[in-house]
Structure 1
C-alpha cells in the first residue's frame, strides 16, 4: 500500500489542489511542453486558412495582433496560476463562478479536447498507415493508446515526450519549409495575392487569438 502511495504521489499533477512550492517546474521545461502543444494540427490549419484568405501583410498583422491579445491574456492568467498554484477549474471556482460554474467550464473543455483528440489521432494514424501500411483502425487504436498512456502519467511524462518530440518536430518543419518555399523568392511570396476568398483582418486576428486560448489553461499553474 505504501508503494502505491509513493507511485501515486510521484505522478500527481495536483489537478484538484495547489501545487506545492517545491513541486513547481522550471520555466524551460514548461516552455518546451508549451511549444509542443502549439505544434498541433490546429496551428497548421490556422496557417493554411490565413494563407489561403489573406495576402502576406494582412496575415502578418493578423498574427501580430492575435499574438499580442493572446500574450496579454496568457500573462494575466499565468500570474494568477503561478501565484495560487491552481488549475483553471479551481481558479474559476474560487473567483466567483462557484462549484457549478467550474463544472460547466470543465465539461466544455473536456468535450472540446475529446473532439480534437479524435481528429488529431486520425491524422496520426493515417500518417503511419501511409508510411508502414496496415489497417487504419489498428493504427488509430495503437496511436490513441500511446497518447493516452503518456497523458495518464501527467506532467512528468508530458515533459519527457516534449523533450524528444519538439526537437524532431523543429527539424521536420524546417526541412518542409525549405523544401516548399525553396522555389519561390521572398519578394514573390510577399506580393502574392490570396488564392481563396478574402478573409478580413478582424477575422484573422480572432482566429489567431481564439485558436490558442483553449490549450492555454493546461500549463499555466505549474
Structure 2
C-alpha cells in the first residue's frame, strides 16, 4: 500500500512524464473532473448569449449540438492520451517537432489557460465582495477578494488530479441541487411567460453551434491532460460522455431559461433576488473553483514544457502560473484582452486536427507509430498556419480541425512528414509496445 501511495504522489509531482497503466484512475473520478470544467459562469453566459440572438428552442438545440461536437472531438483526442499517457502539449511533438511544439503549442495553451484563470477568478472575487457588502454590510476590498480566492483555487491544482476529483465529488452534486432549486424559485417568482417571449433571430443556427464549441475549444483540445489518467479508450469515452455532455447541456438550458424568465443568466444573482444569497455566492464560487483549478493545472504542464523546466517541478510551476493569473485578474489587466483570448480558439483548433490526423489516420491509431521529432516539423506547422487562416476567414472555429486533417493529408502525401519512421517501402515501421497491448 505504501509503495502504491508513493507512486501516485510521484505522478502528481511530475508534469510531462507518461502515466503508466499501473497508476491510472477510474473513469468515474475523471468524469467528475470533466463535469467540473463544464459548470462555470461562462456556461450560463453561453445560454444567455444564444437566447439573446435566437428563440429558445433553436438556442438550446444549437448549443446542444455544439456540446456534441465537443464530446466527439474530446473523446477522439482523449483516447490518444489514454493510449500514450501523455499531456496535451506533448502530443503535438510529432507534427510540430519538439522545438515547434514547445515554442508554439505549449505557449499558446499556457497563455489561454492562465488568462481565463484570471478572468474567472476576477468574476468570483467581485461576486464575493458584492455579497459581503450587500448581505453582511461589510466592505471587503475587491483586490483582496480576488487574491484570496485565487490562492484557494490554486491549492487544489497544486495537489493534482486526485484533489481535483475529490473537490468535484462534493461540488457537482451540490451545484446540481442548487441550480435546480434556483430554477424552481425563479419560475415560481416570475412565471414561465418569459420563456415564450418572441426573439428576432439575428444569429444563424451554425453560428450558434460554433459559439457553443468555442466556449470549450481549448478544454477540448487539451483533454489529454486528464484522460492520460484513464485506463483505456472505453473509459475515456465513458468519462467524457457522462462528464461533459449532461452538465454542459444542463447549464446551457439553465442559462437560456434564466435569461428569459428572470432577466439574468447568473444563477448566483437569481438566488440572491429570491432571498437566498448565501446559496448564490457559494454556487458561483464552487462553479468557478472546479473550472479554475483545471485551468491552473493544465497551464502548469504547458509552462513546464515551454520553459524546459525540470519535470518534477510541476507543483512549484502551478503556484507560479496561478499567482500570475490571479494578479493579472485582480488588477483588471485581463479585462483588456478577453476578446483576444476568445480569438485564440482559431489557433488552437487546428492543433487538435493535427493530433487526430497524425495519430489516427497517418499512424493508424497505433501507439507504436508515435514518436518524438526533434526541432521543427514544417509539414505540421505550415498545415496549422493555413488551417487557422481558413477557419478565421469563415469565422467557424471548429472548422480548423477539419481543415487541418484534410490539408495535412494532402501535404504529407507529397512530402512525407518527419513524424513517421519509414522503411525502404515507405510503410510505417510498427513496433510492439506494452501500452498498445494493454489498451
TM over 0.5: yes
TM bin (shorter chain): 0.7 to 0.9
SS of residue matched to 2:208: helix
- Of residues 133, 144, 162, the one that matches 1:138 is 144
Measured in 2, the distance between the counterparts of 1:124 and 1:169 equals 15
1:12 is paired with a residue whose SS is helix
* TM-aligned CA deviation for residue 188 of structure 1: 6.1
User: Map of 1:71-220 to 2, 5 A cutoff?
Assistant: 71-94=71-94, 96-103=95-102, 104-132=104-132, 133=138, 134-182=140-188, 183-185=190-192, 189=195, 191-194=196-199, 198-216=202-220, 217=222, 218-220=225-227
Task: Answer with 45-54 or 99-108: which moved more.
Answer: 99-108
CA deviation after TM superposition for structure 1 residue 11, in Å:
5.8
- Aligned-residue Cα RMSD (Å) equals 2.2
1:17 aligns with 2:21: no
SS at the partner of 1:15? coil
Distance 1:35 1:208 in 2: 16
Quick one: distance in 2 between partners of 1:41 and 1:11?
31
Separation in 2, partners of 1:80, 1:11: 19
| Alpha carbons 1:11, 1:156 under 8 Å: kept | no
Structure 1: tracts of 5 or more residues without a match:
1-5
Q: Distance in 2 between matches of 1:221 and 1:19?
A: 7
Normalised by the length of structure 2, the TM-score is: 0.46
Matched-pair contact (CA < 8 Å) for 1:77–1:220:
no
Structure-1 separation of matches of 2:113 and 2:165 = 19
Report deviation, 1:113: 1.2
For these two proteins, the number of residue pairs brought into alignment is 213
How far apart in 2 are the matches of 1:144 and 1:162?
Answer: 17
Tell me, what secondary structure is at the counterpart of 1:214?
Answer: helix
Aligned to 2:40: 40
Cα displacement (A) at 1:144: 0.9
Asked if 2 retains the 8 angstrom alpha-carbon contact of 1:66 and 1:208, the reply is: yes
1:129-150 per-residue CA deviation (whole Å, 9 max, x = no partner) reads: 2233311111111111111111
- 1:8 Cα offset (Å): 8.8
Label 1:34 to 1:86 Cα distance change in 2 as closer, same or farther (>3 A): same
Q: Evaluate the alpha carbon distance shift between residue 210 and residue 101 of structure 1 in structure 2; reply closer, same or farther with a 3 A threshold.
A: farther
For residue 7 of structure 1, report the CA deviation from its aligned partner. 9.2
- Secondary structure at 1:219 match in 2: helix
- Contact 2:7–2:23 under 8 Å retained in 1: no
Deviation of 1:122 (Å): 1.2
**Aligned-pair distance for 1:73?**
0.6
- Which stretch of structure 1 is more off in the superposition, 96-105 or 82-91? 96-105
Give a deviation string over 1:6-55, Cα, whole Å, max 9, x none.
59934626531211111111111111111111112221221110121110
- Distance in 2, Cα, partners of 1:119 & 1:188: 30
Aligned mates of 1:61, 1:131 — CA distance in 2: 34
Largest Rg, 1 or 2: 2
User: Larger RCO: Structure 1 or Structure 2 (Cα < 8 Å, ≥ 6 residues apart)?
Assistant: 1
The answer as to whether partners of 2:63 and 2:208 remain within 8 angstroms in 1 is: yes
